[in-house]
Chains A and B, each alone.
Chain A
Amino acid sequence: MTLEQVFDGGCTYLQDADIGEHRMPLAVPCHIEDLPDLYYALLDTGSSWCVLPAAVARLLGVTPVPGEPTLRLSTRLGSFEGWLERARVTFPADVGRAIDVDATWFVSWDWSGPMVLGWKGCVERMRIATDPDEQALYFARL
């Protein structure tokens, strides 16, 4: 059987990141909005939302909407209060073209873990594939 897929680009991920007591296999490079730094974020298809570290949220100037109730979300690192934000994440390309995703992030001032790319918040509407031989993540628009 031959399956062919077309991708816009591909990047190299870091393997076997250790997050607390949980080992997560893929840390993917990404830019957030127009911030100059490149972050390695954990690609976690078991997480609904992306999670933005508080320090990055402060750089972006995002704050909760006054008067709006907070969300309490349960994570593998515990339960956190916060809110949702929309922010662009860019996957840079070592090969091909970079893509942007208009992603939804959970932000909590108390979040103590890494930056996370979740399923409903980001990956749901992308075509992705991994090649462990190259530590490559390939991505495409739908």
Chain B
Amino acid sequence: MHFGIPGRCGRAYNQVGVADSQQGERMATAKPGPSQTVEAERPLGADVEEVLRRLLALIEGDKVEEARALVAYATQSNPDSLALRRWARLLRPPEATLSIRKRFRDTRPEREWLNTHRHDYPGCWLAVANGRLVAADPDLERVQEAIRDAVGDDGAVICYQGVDVG
């Protein structure tokens, strides 16, 4: 796949939209022709708006590794761009660490209830607390309201039960 920008003097980009370094060196030694401008020689990473457009296209095309490589390259060229830094953070591979969460509950009663009964509520979000059903509704916000009314911030176990297709 080629991400060269039409009309930009044939600069080559690899699969992540990053300028090909060897060709860049070759081009750097050539004198600009009449149709070549300084703007046309700017590497992709320098044009934040263009990078963002390509990032969105890569993400929408499910090309996550290419998007990660592009944002890493462009962030080096534009370290002060808040938009690129935000995208770099969003696209960073997930990192697993030991949990900092303090509070966990034994949810075996809720799990047992769900294992036994959840198929009786197709198309619903289910909330279970203290081993019993608190709410069942297709609207998760209504279920969350019911949880707060019933158990406050003690919390519930929430599960989406889709339509049973047998």
Q: A18-B164, A121-B94, A125-B95 are in contact. Are A39 and B154 (CB under 8 A)?
A: no
> Do A98 and B98 touch across chains, with their CB atoms under 8 A apart?
yes
Partner of A141, one of B98, B107, B155: B98
User: Per a CB cutoff under 8 Å, which of B64, B104, B119, B160 touches A48?
Assistant: B64
Given A100-B101, A142-B96; A18-B159 close (CB under 8 Å): no
Chain A neighbourhood of B159, CB < 8 A: 14, 17, 27, 39-40
Taking CB atoms, residues of chain A closer than 8 Å to B165 are 18, 20-21, 23
A1 at the interface (CB under 8 A from B): no
Q: Smallest CB–CB gap between A59 and chain B, Å?
A: 7
Min CB gap B105→A, angstroms: 8
Q: Which residue of A lies closest to B53 (CB)?
A: A69
B contact residues around A20 at 8 Å (CB)? 162-163, 165
Given A40-B114, A59-B144, A72-B90 contact (CB < 8 Å): no
B155 interface neighbour in A19, A37, A97, A102, Cβ under 8 Å: A37
Which of B52, B90, B99, B140 is the one whose CB lies under 8 Å from A56? B140
Task: Please report the C-alpha to C-alpha distance between residue A115 and residue B144 in the assembled complex, in whole angstroms.
Answer: 14
Interface 9-residue window, one of B2-10, B12-20, B32-40, B54-62: B54-62
B96 and A126 contacting across the interface, CB-CB below 8 Å: yes
Interface residues in chain B, defined as those with a beta carbon under 8 Å from any beta carbon in chain A: 52, 56, 59-60, 62, 64, 83, 86, 89-101, 104-105, 107, 110-111, 114-115, 118-119, 122, 127, 139-141, 144, 147, 153-165
- 5 more CB-based (< 8 A) A-B contacts, given A38-B157, A72-B60: A22-B162, A36-B153, A53-B140, A104-B90, A125-B96
27 sample A-B contacts, Cβ–Cβ < 8 Å, listed by A number: A8-B98, A12-B111, A14-B115, A14-B118, A17-B162, A18-B119, A18-B165, A31-B101, A36-B154, A37-B144, A37-B155, A38-B107, A38-B156, A39-B159, A40-B157, A40-B160, A71-B60, A72-B60, A86-B89, A90-B99, A93-B104, A99-B99, A102-B97, A113-B162, A120-B94, A121-B94, A126-B96
